[in-house]
Structure 1
Amino acid sequence: MLALVQRVSEARVEVDGQVVGAIGAGLLVLVCAEPGDTDLQAGKLVDKLLKLRIFSDHAGKMNRSVVDIGGGLLIVSQFTLAADVSGGNRPSFTGAAGPELGRRLYEKVLELARARHPQVAAGQFGADMKVSLTNDGPVTIPLQIA
């Protein structure tokens, strides 16, 4: 499972001009399931997100998690994280899970995150989404969960 985590001071997702998910300070997480991924990878991703220490402590060091700061999670599906451009200039997305598995694992990530964290917002799987964010830092961390 692939993810791109961005520390944000705010973020939101719109579909057809309507806000479907929004948070203040926290993490914007773009998620892509890969073929062969299971609920195990979904659980490992949620564990990592909740423990990832990328927020500043009183000394200005990255030492606090989204849980520690009481921040939100905005989780958005994004199959393009699996893009492969090694064969040319047009990306191939064969490294992304098919729509059925991708949706199931995205929904599993949301289910697990909501069970363990009070502030979880989401995009809309398969929709044409407009994502707005204020990256804080900027801090952007790619994750690959095996």
Structure 2
Amino acid sequence: VFLGVGQGDAVDDMDWLIGRITKLRIWEDENGRMNQSLLDIDGQALVVSQFTLYGNLKKGNRPSFNRAALPDEAIPLYEEFVARLAGAIGKSVPTGRFGSHMDISAENDGPVTLVLDTRQKDF
């Protein structure tokens, strides 16, 4: 999970995200169909902070990240999200280091990449 924390995000946003992350049927069943959730497969999650998800590309050639929450607001929400996700799946949740430069390798199966936005819950 690449988690971006935006200005004004709150605990109810985390709860919605965790519900979606744990219950989305995006894992294959025995017939190869996306029909199982993270809970169904007894899966685990990795959470990495990603403020660049809030990159605004509307003006100029350099992204603006002014919609991302500042660290004082984002870090507690990030840590609470990780704790609540761990509780929801009943396992520890490994994380990256908030605000650090990291080399991350990701292998997309399919590829499948989905975006969950708490400001567009009906999408």
TM-score between both structures, scaled by the size of structure 1:
0.77
* Separation of aligned partners in 2, 1:88 and 1:143: 26
Instruction: Answer yes or no: is 1:92 the counterpart of 2:78.
Output: no
| Pairing of 1:29-40 with structure 2 (within 5 A) | 29-40=1-12
Q: Match for residue 117 of structure 2?
A: 144
Q: Match for residue 12 of structure 1?
A: none
* Separation of aligned partners in 2, 1:59 and 1:96: 40
- Judge conservation of contact 1:54–1:64 (CA < 8 Å) in 2: yes
Q: CA deviation at 1:119?
A: 4.6
Unaligned segments of structure 1, at least 5 residues: 1-28
| Pairing of 1:74-89 with structure 2 (within 5 A) | 74-89=46-61
- Identity %, equivalent residues: 41
Instruction: Answer yes or no: is 1:126 the counterpart of 2:107.
Output: no
* Separation of aligned partners in 2, 1:82 and 1:57: 33
Aligned alpha-carbon RMSD (Å): 1.1
How many residues in Structure 1 have an aligned counterpart in Structure 2?
A: 118
Q: Of residues 72, 76, 101 in structure 1, which corresponds to 2:44?
A: 72
- Judge conservation of contact 1:34–1:97 (CA < 8 Å) in 2: yes
TM-score between both structures, scaled by the size of structure 2:
0.91
Larger strand percent:
1
Q: 1:82-115 CA distances to partner (integer Å, 9 max, x unpaired)?
A: 0001101100001111111111111111010111
- Judge conservation of contact 1:75–1:122 (CA < 8 Å) in 2: yes
Q: Match for residue 135 of structure 1?
A: 108
Unaligned segments of structure 2, at least 5 residues: none
